[in-house]
Amino acid sequence: MHDRAAITRIGEGLIAATLPKPEWTHAAHVAAAVHIIMARPDIDPEADMPGLIRRYNVACGVVNSDTMGYHHSITLASIAAVRAGLALAPAGDLAAQLAWLMGGMLGDKYWPERFWHYDTLFSPAARLGWLAPDRARLPFSVRV
């Protein structure tokens, strides 16, 4: 994401469920969270993103179930991680802040496995609802 327009396109593409599925990468997940947190005060990320992601998945032909599609624990932890990261990011434009976030922990799509054991993270309980980490404490608080 080299500029604010690209971040906006991804965030609004998620909201409208029109972003092409091949573009829904790990970086796009983070960019969408940044866009929604920073540019869409009408959206409550913790309350609204679960439905937005589920709707987007359905539009892309992805089934939301207890084994695939939307993942609640990862979503809530990711929103909290983006919020915490933005609070620490150097001042700058949105693209620079996103680049800074992606240069840290959030740049690794497997970052949740630092905090949850794999089997716990991908259990139906963690996918369908909030399940606190069982490997290490998160360095930020999660709004459940």
Positive or negative, the CA dihedral 126, 132, 135, 136 is positive
The domain locations on the chain are 4-128
Residue with tokens 């990711």: 78
| pTM of this structure | 0.96
For 7-39, b/e burial (b = at least 16 CB within 10 A) is bbbbbbbbbeeebeeeebeebbbbbbbbbbbbe
Q: What is the pLDDT of residue 1?
A: 63
Instruction: Return per-residue pLDDT of the chain as tens, 144 residues.
Output: 679 999 999 999 999 999 999 999 999 999 999 999 999 999 999 999 999 999 999 999 999 999 999 999 999 999 999 999 999 998 889 999 999 999 999 999 999 999 999 999 999 999 999 999 999 999 999 999
